[in-house]
Structure 1
Amino acid sequence: MAVRFFHTSDWHLGQFFHNHDRDYEHTQFLTWLLEQIKQKQPHALLIAGDIFDVINPASSAQKQLYQFLTDAHAIAPHMQTLMIAGNHDSGYRVEQVEPLLEKYNAKAVGVIAWNEDKTLNIERLLQPIYNEDKNIVAWCLTLPFLRSAEITGFNDQTTNSQNAIAYLHQKLIAEAKSRKQPDQALILMSHAHLQGGETSDSERPIIIGNEEALSTSLYDDVIDYVALGHLHKPQKVGQPHIRYSGSPIPLSFSEIRYKHQVVEVEINPNSSDENRFKFQALEIPRSVQLHKISGELQHVFEQLKALPSGEIEAINQREYVDIEYHTQTPPQPNLRQQFEDALPPHRYRLVRISRKYLNQQGDHDPQNKISLEPPTPEKLFQQIWEKQGYHSDDAVFKDFLSLVDEAQKSLEDDLSA
């Protein structure tokens, strides 16, 4: 029996983009996704983490999610929605509304749970997917973002993050194989950074102990499809059936050229290897355009004036502009106003200006790039570390990121208490 499902991830509902909310863009995406669900009627929708942008999302972001689940259930009542928590989510928060989710044929797995005897609670991690006739057509192995504190120290196989990660995958896959029937597929959904995956500058670094990226060797050949979240660029990792769906909207200017998509997958376990696995990328229309302008000042002004004109009345629908200008001299006091005046009126939002100094030969000096972006904890730490005269040290930086992750986890625990 074939199983048909949609793979999506990294919605980041509630994100503010340079102090501008993305409600309009997310609404446009969710409206488009509902239309795809109505037309294709998949058996399942998989959301592979980072549902929200922050661990304590605004009520408007939560309302967007629950309204979507309501509408999706109305147009495809047989469809199951399976979600996992990403590193931006509070795993406890996404699980708290389980009674509500059940009404809309939805399930959220936020944390790794352990039994009293220190064995892995597999029942929550292994979810059946049914077809219209209520027959199981697939098993979904759900692995939310793996925080070191939640997966280590439970038994001899979890003494550190590396062996705990291997243990989790082995136990879960072994149980799935024991339950799987010949006409059922196995799908693994995970929120993680895999070795070989291409990143963008909007992705929060993931450090699990000292493991920066996981290996595809964790996935047994019996797995028919690996639905990944965390990296925002749609891509395969190693093999066609191991894929990141990517984010539905660009979350930074580095993602301007990404072809954002939802992956439509069909698996027929009874078919030959050639026809067993099929997928199609459903490209998501971009509702608000992004423009990155760079060069010396004269060239920047020329590019700004050449942008398409025509007013856009609603501010939250106006296009974003990022300017990086190159110069040998300090900026003029009214330079921002000059940039604003050069833009066609009432169509754009100038959200970021940065300058890159040129050396005497007119070449770019990478040490002299100045950005108006607020620093992240990671960037601030690097700046202070280097200012103190220390050389770049990957081990120290990884230790710092581990502390940031522990602090975030502590905050989640306080919020869920």
Structure 2
Amino acid sequence: MTATALPQTDQHTLIRGARILGGEQADILVIGDRIQEVGRLSVDGPCEVVDAEGLIALPGFVDLHVHLREPGREDAETIATGAAAAAAGGFTAVLAMANTSPVTDTAEGAERVLDLGRRSGLVDVQPVGAVTKGLEGRELAELALMARSLARVRVFSDDGHCVDDARVMRRALEYVRAFGGVITQHAQDPRLADSQACCHESELSGRLGLPGWPGIAEESIVARDVMLARHTGSRVHIAHVSTAGSVEVIRWAKQQGVDVTAEVTPHHLLLTSDLLTSYDPVFKVNPPLRPAEDVAALRAALADGTIDAVATDHAPHARHDKEHAFVDAAFGMLGLETSLAVVSDVMVRGGLLDWAGVARVMSVLPARIARLGGHGQPLASGSPANLTLVDPDAVTTVDATTSLSLSRNNPWHGRTLTGAVVSTYLRGRVTAREGRLA
């Protein structure tokens, strides 16, 4: 073994003995913001050595779907606190949804979010632009100006609202095709599931007296949008897929060559609609929790590649918005700090994904969908040093009071999960260790 001579400048870190993507053990030498070498290494010169025996090294996670609430609702979350939660959860990049106040529907608004993210220094915060002005579904927002801005927006979404007008959706798809953008759709036909719908429509919703949210409200929009994507030759991404019917539509569309991608949340991979019998508003989310048969279909679709990515839909809320009677409470759950553990428990320990598969759905494909070239790269010589070290055997009982998020609407509180993020590196600099900022 020949020792690598270290330059006198830059930060040097030797991560020793990690299993790359869960496979063979190797050392990772990081110099500055890049991976210098991977293999069985020794170094000649001063260097921080990190003992990663028993840990798995993965490319840093990328979350396609977070709500950071700033500007407008800093009582629930700020970009700084959301970035801290993301770093603790193993993320090196997150996409911040546009449903803020004011809405991110201008180039100036997108650049403001980008700047606030850069100030955090913890993760790359990439703004998502609104599809329509004010999320009102009528007039297209400044799509091209946002794409040409310093923020280089490539993902557009009215998340929280469905772009339900087919003509507006078609125009948006045609418009973003010119610069390689993608429209992320919140699939909810408001004529089939209105703003009050909060429980999967079934015998359960009737028994609980909660407004029903039928699966067809999602599936009909997914079907329409994949056909519009085929017609326009553009890209469409389906947010928070929640039903077996949507899975079948997406699977068919991919077989036809339609440029469609999709994401699933950790909570839709594990939690089921029977939890609503408690009327606990922490379980109120949009789309709603679904029955076990839908959950099984989502897991299988993530395993076989029909669903491309895991995205948290991290949705913090202040207590005065969430702690109400179920029908009056705000929609949404926290997810950034617990995402890896849920995926580990459900998909890895369930035998549906290996750790290379986890890297695919939590890093590689999300980065590719969002066109984030510096993320989701192989852990190899020359790659940006964006990586996450995971302890696959760590057992953790979730405590909502220790979250780095400002909010506490954590559906995992008190649950025991297996698999934990040990440390996160953004361009060679450690940002978080064992759930806390480094």
Q: Higher relative contact order by CA 8 Å / sep ≥ 6: 1 or 2? A: 2
TM range (shorter): 0.3 to 0.5
Q: Which has the larger radius of gyration?
A: 1
TM-score normalised by length of structure 1: 0.36
TM-score normalised by length of structure 2: 0.34
